[in-house]
Structure 1
Amino acid sequence: MVERRVILVLPAQDALIEPSMMRMTGGGRITNRVIGAPPRSDIDTSFTPIPLADAELIPGAGSLSPRAAQRFAVRATIDDDATMPSSTIGGVPVFSDPVIAHFPAHGCAAPIGTRADIETQLGVPSLAARRLDGSGVAVAVMDTGISRPHLAAQGVTAAIDPTLTWSPAGGAPGCYAPDHGTMCAYDALIAAPRATLLDYPILLSTSQGGSPAAGVLSDALQAYAHLVAVMQAPKRPFTSLVVTNSWGLYHASWDFPAGHSGRYVDNPNHPFNIIVGTLSRYRVDILFAAGNCGSGCPDPRCQGVVNHTIMGANAHPDVITVAGVTAKGRRAGFSSQGPGIPGMVYAKPDLACFTHYLGSRALGPGEPDTGTSAACPTAAGCVAAIRTRMPQTSLAPRDLTAALVADARKHNPSGWHRDLGYGIVRPLRTAARLGL
């Protein structure tokens, strides 16, 4: 008998509602018997149940709260002797909980450019002159954790809010080993040096043995539920929230097979894709890396596949999907190309930003900040800079995305192109468009 980790969606009940309401107060464990759990399943009682909204709901709607939600996502293991579990077990929907991994790129080329080159390309001095530096904006880094000492050693003063965080493996915000998450934090602060970082080390999953390279999707689901709760609070210590995600799946085989209703990569109804949409309806800017399966230098984990490799939330309609270009404005060979996987958004990536430059040194001396892993937080910093004086209450994320698209340096004058989407982000031009 095979034991498989999955996400189950169960009907609302006190055993799930009560721990869900304790999410922000340090509780959240399931302590009472769950009614309706399918046979051969073992629910992870340490996993705080997550209320799932209906797709049409808007911020403030009652069913976004645990008390009014009709269904909850929980993590479980099931005994399964088949190749894949049934779509439902005992009438309970079963969804995949695949491994997720970050998107650095090693060995494709020597570093191209430095932080100074990226600052010039993005117009950072001019953004600062316009008081667009990320002040009052929070940037949530969904990754392997941030090392504030390493950032300080690179001359970067990072503000980190230790009260707004969630971790699958413990640890103190800002005190993790310097690695991929520190790189992402550094890159986000290039254009928005005064933004406040929120440290979400989702890729340090205990389910993966604490690997710095991989986590599980259910931990990302838990982190997003935490951010939804933050946005539901009556008061927040920031004016806008930007979320940067430099991770995803390298190959669809990491997921349930095609046609399974519980699959993630091409399924808008998967719980994680649902919660991404929920968070976006609170006017949160969400950015995802396109991935590193581009023709030219695909990661070996892509297994030679270079088509339809932008998958899952990386191809979600409510996120900005970011491709990678060098400091010279050319597509990085590893950057995944569109279109997105069938079932999600076709015209992905949306925009491109800079990568493969010497910056944080978090991956080692002389190693570039690389992959679409670097492009995504670099773009997130641009969004945070604009949000300094254009908060989310004044301009919805989709409207800001439209402005960024209109102002991008075009790869294809006629519109979207599979390599770089609608072009390379130009935050200074967008700031001028918005009168900032």
Structure 2
Amino acid sequence: MPRQRTLKGLGRSTRRGLSRALEPPRLRSTAAVFTTMSALAATSLLSAPSVAEPFSTEPCALQRTGAHHSEGVDTWNAAYPRPTRALNAVMVFLSFPDSTPLTTPAELTADHFPVTSEFFRRTSYGRFTLTAHAMRQWVRMPRPSTAYRIQRDWSASLRSLYLRDALRAADDQVDFSRYDIVYFVADPDAPGVDSDATKVVNLDAPLRADGADIRRVVTVFERHPPDRLVLAHETGHVFDLPDLYHRPADGKGDWDTYVGDWDMMGSQFGLAPDLFGWHKWKLGWLQPRQVVCVQRPTRLTLEPLGAGPGVPVPGAAGAPAFGLGDGTKLAVVRTGPDSALAFEVRDPVGNDSMACRAGVLVYRVRSTTESGRGPVEVIDAHPHTQACWEDSVYPPLADAPVSLGESFTVPGDGVRVEVEDRSASGTWTVTITPGVTG
């Protein structure tokens, strides 16, 4: 669930990407069988056991733990769909007896697609395709919008009632067994709708419809037009990615102190919202040969994280270069049983086209830290300066990368990175040295 303080309160341009509605396939009807269920927010633990699928045996691959949305990458949590194949999502549009919609399903579809699917196409280097099948008409809910008391910290019983009503209302029009992801999109102008309640709901006991178990649902309450990349953020939770923002206990203060602009799971308004290389490794979008485990002083060439087939990359002379995408993207230094340092090049390419600064970004990953409590923290190579204060969600981290010609030793870990060169083709030469003292 993305934080809402910055989204609503700073008056920053959202640079929303809108496009036309996708044509849905024919949706058919079958009966739904409901089980008793309790809904858990995306920040809660699933009670059902998950099956581990082997993923990586790299010495730097942290072990997946019981932490919700653990950043471990040694196995894949089979309770979640792994986005290494084409997945289909259904968008169901819900209206209420106490409001007449001012928008159409086609307009709301265009709020989120194809911008969401294009984001995932770029961040996965074309290895993952998300296709949205949108209903063309509203589905009428049986109760007024105000009856559900929709809000950010929603009661489990009312959220459960909302989901049961939505599934019953849509069942004669949708075959839910055909879809990997369900988006329930509420009329944004209904009086009881609160955009802060947009989130992924994990189901302690799955809903049963059309012979299929529905274990999680994305409930969308966004305004029209919506927050930038909000659906991509929520879909990231469907793929077991954690929240990377910091939610102050009193709801006040800054939410972006952990990662700033540098990953969409922190802020969908970030200037460089591409997923961290660690997340691309976790999701299976980086091949083993593209990740280097550094255990001794190592000089290596890194490609910009956003570079993929057909994506122009700025070369050293400023002219765009092409042809990158299959080289090394991520370097990792293991720092403990459940922690590691990650190094990757962030350049203004692909999803990072508006990045404030280019260079080698350094961040710490912890596999035992819960979603929303800082499982990833960007390390600021320029702690006494800030940048892009008019546009960055957190200017102190906007200039965090180690720039060309600089060296930086990570405080407390004694790992030094030297950024030596940037080639005409857009690759960066770096030396990483563990165990530096003094």
Q: What TM bracket, shorter-length normalisation?
A: under 0.3
TM-score by structure 1 length? 0.26
Q: 1 or 2, which has the higher helix percentage?
A: 1
TM-score by structure 2 length? 0.26
Q: 1 or 2, which has the higher strand percentage?
A: 2
